[in-house]
Structure 1
Amino acid sequence: MMDWTDRHCRYLHRLMSREVVLYTEMITAAALIHGDRERLLRHDACEHPVALQIGGSEPDALAEAARIGAAAGYDEINLNVGCPSDRVQSGAFGACLMREPDLVARCVAAMIAAVPGVPVTVKCRIGVDEQDPEVVLPDFLARVADAGCNAFTIHARKAWLEGLSPKENRDIPPLDYGIVHRMKARFPQLHISLNGGITALDTAADALAAGLDGVMIGRAAYHDPGRILPGIDALVTGRPGGGRGPEEAVLAMLDYIEAECAAGTRLNQITRHMLGLFSGRPGARQWRRMLSEGAHLPGAGPELVRDALGCVESRAA
């Protein structure tokens, strides 16, 4: 979710679900150590529980990055071993590390030692390129678990590092949910979550009912949050009722937007995460057009968002 789940996105999503665990976009260990930590790690207290997702392949650097994240108050430190982007491959981390389980184990052990009391988790693929997932994935899980990690989120696709773009890697390799369930049966002591291609809460509920410990939803929650996020609380708690719907979330965002704009944030930095709130509903096109055309203009603020919401409400009346 690089360039997607920044602090503005997470603030919006928390308004729509109290129970969901939020994840940052992936940040490299080097950026945390040498970059602008205030900008990279800033988050609102309302975001908790929130996990910091880190990329890297050097145990000492990852340990230091984990310490920095824990000191900033993050509830979980997640090592990304699943991202297939060109930037990740050039840095020899992300999905490339599926080929090096012993190195991942050393990285995880160093991170765990650095942040006692803060969970260190791993997000991975089922394999890369010509690897046989039935052989590679259980070996990977066993070695990394032996290093102390007991929670994995598995994107149920291979990553093809040769021949597919990062975008194509999100869709073209076939999904294999079955192998994730087999890994849970093989490693019942591990907390295993399913990721990849999940676009409906019914699918998530089925995965949980079948014995998995969690479900991670990425693109569907981002592009159509109004359909996905409000129902998560009831799914998690088993109690009726849920988070805020899109209209309530927009109204709850207005004070945040006013404060952020007063502090120098451009409106479009916030509203770019809000474009899909009313997907499939009357007025959605006008909502997107007003924000897309107006939010980048000087002086744009919460009044533009309120006016755009009026277009949706008038179409629904």
Structure 2
Amino acid sequence: LFAVNVKWGKEKFDGVELNTDEPPMVFKAQLFALTGVQPARQKVMVKGGTLKDDDWGNIKIKNGMTLLMMGSADALPEEPIARPVFVEDMTEEQLASAMELPCGLTNLGNTCYMNATVQCIRSVPEVKEALKRYGGALRASGEMASAQYITAALRDLFDSMDKTSSSIPPIILLQFLHMAFPQFAEKGDQGQYLQQDANECWVQMMRVLQQKLEGIEGDTVMETDSGATAASSKKKSLIDQFFSIEFETAMKCTEAEEEEVTKGKENLLQLSCFINQEVKYLFTGLKL
């Protein structure tokens, strides 16, 4: 792990972390977070050559050295309109696009837990639309910084996924997820990322979006009277509107029969399904 300086035009970033055990694309993703220059538009030069995307080649990195980056933060130019192509002449990628197959996410080394979570969230139209309206930048500081840059990275990833049917490597989102929740960055003895629990990733992503996505006014989500009253005094987040489950609880002391049952209500973002040897169907687990 090295600390290097990066000069970009008139700006200079000191002490940028660079890990040569990871592909250069990961370092370029960090530069993207700092400058807003897409990795595809970056040209990073160092004594000994220019950084590639997949390997370091013969480039030798030292602490404190200065790298020169060229590239503008402007959006990539759109591809020109292509001439009509017949189905028989289409590549697999073009055929998938014509059949409106969903975009896939590349497994970056035991990251299927995150990919599954992202695809599940993307299947909710209201969340996609709320992310399109979200104006937070990828660069942030302060107490809520991690929630902002993860939400912004998810927004940008969805935008990229809407424009292609090919598989996309979610490098930037993975980097930010590791920064905010280091448990997902754990590695094994061979340096590979360890497998993680998809439900844990889902819970963390829901909490992040709960903080950043505002609710929809006048939505048709069914509410109880008490829920409507609470919403009028405090605006719900979009996650609360579409994912929150209200439980009615009843607590009784089994050792004191004379005590009355204490009733209450609480809101959670997931419904637990208890699994044991007698549970064969989802309904049975929920009933327990």
Q: Give the TM-score category using the shorter length.
A: under 0.3
TM-score (normalised: structure 1): 0.23
Normalized per residue, which structure has more helix? Answer: 1
Larger Cα-atom Rg:
2
Taking structure 2 as the reference length, what is the TM-score of the superposition? 0.25
